[in-house]
Homo-oligomer: A and B are copies of this chain.
Amino acid sequence: MSSQSFPQWMADIQARVEHALERCLPPSDVAPTRLHQAMRYSVLGGGKRVRPLLAFAAGELAKADPLRLETVACAVELIHAYSLVHDDLPCMDDDSMRRGKPTTHVEYDEATALLVGDSLQTLAFGVLAEGRLCDDPARQMELVSLLARASGSRGMAGGQAIDLDAVGKPLSVEELEFMHIHKTGALIRSAVQLGAACGNVDADGQDRLDHFGKRAGLLFQVVDDILDAEADSATLGKTAGKDAAQNKPTYVSILGIGRAREMADELKAQALAALEPFGPSAQRLAELTQFIVARRF
């Protein structure tokens, strides 16, 4: 499909998204300067940008305008960044390292980190509402609504609430899956949906992409759990082994490392199978799926 290698494509999109995020974040010399500096600190210069990559890969399949994809990629990444800043706070995971540098409340202070997360979420919706994403503005409104459902109490934030309640409790695999479908899965799924919605995919294709998004979201989490159990902090860029230390249920703690790896293989196969009918136009999504697994163990 494309003559560009996957690593080149990925580096291109990452650079493109970094520039787009730089442009949509408030300048650090505009008041309130400390808040704006902290917002930029929390978003820029780090992260693999998995959600933006998924949005671009789905958008390529749908032949979407790259400028529109930039907008949805920024919106989803801003939601992700807000969730990390709040997740790292002392009352949540109390993490001091993220992406190889001090977390926002450590580098600044707790109150600023709270407002950073709040403001990044607002910015995500502002960005999505201001850009011209679809030819039909009614359709664009549906995208705002889609991002809200993926992020809110029945999506990502709800998953975090379930996560909180689960600390120290025995969970079944089904309960763990329910948690992750919300906590990580919903936003990853929305990245695929939003990217595809910037272009044209028929209803059948949308269904298949949505199935792919769900599998990819869960795959991402299983791999994350394996990584947390195995990697050291330097490789991870954040504090490793936290889940076990905090007595949090993970796929590894419930299934054991061997079965968790098998589950990752199964999810990868299901995700790739959902892409097959698209043929070569799904090349980047397939490569990304491989990447989610391969880069990590």
Contacts and interface: CB of A to CB of B under 8 A. Distances in A.
A129 to B, nearest CB: 4
A94 to B, nearest CB: 10
A110 interface: yes
Contact of A164 (B39, B112, B122, B130): B112
Contact of A158 (B89, B119, B142): B119
A114 B89 contact: yes
Nearest to A122: B152
A273 to B, nearest CB: 30
A152 B118 CA distance: 8
A22 B173 CA distance: 34
Given A138-B137, A144-B129, A145-B129, A118 B86 contact: yes
B91 A39 contact: no
A31 interface: yes
Contact of A125 (B34, B112, B125): B125
Copies in the complex: 2
Contacts of A91: 109-111, 114
Interface of A: 26, 30-32, 34-36, 39, 82-83, 86, 89, 91-92, 109-112, 114-115, 117-119, 121-123, 125-126, 129-130, 136-138, 140-142, 144-145, 148-149, 151-154, 157-158, 160-162, 164-165, 178
Nearest to A118: B157
7 contacts: A39-B153, A91-B111, A114-B114, A115-B164, A119-B157, A122-B152, A141-B141
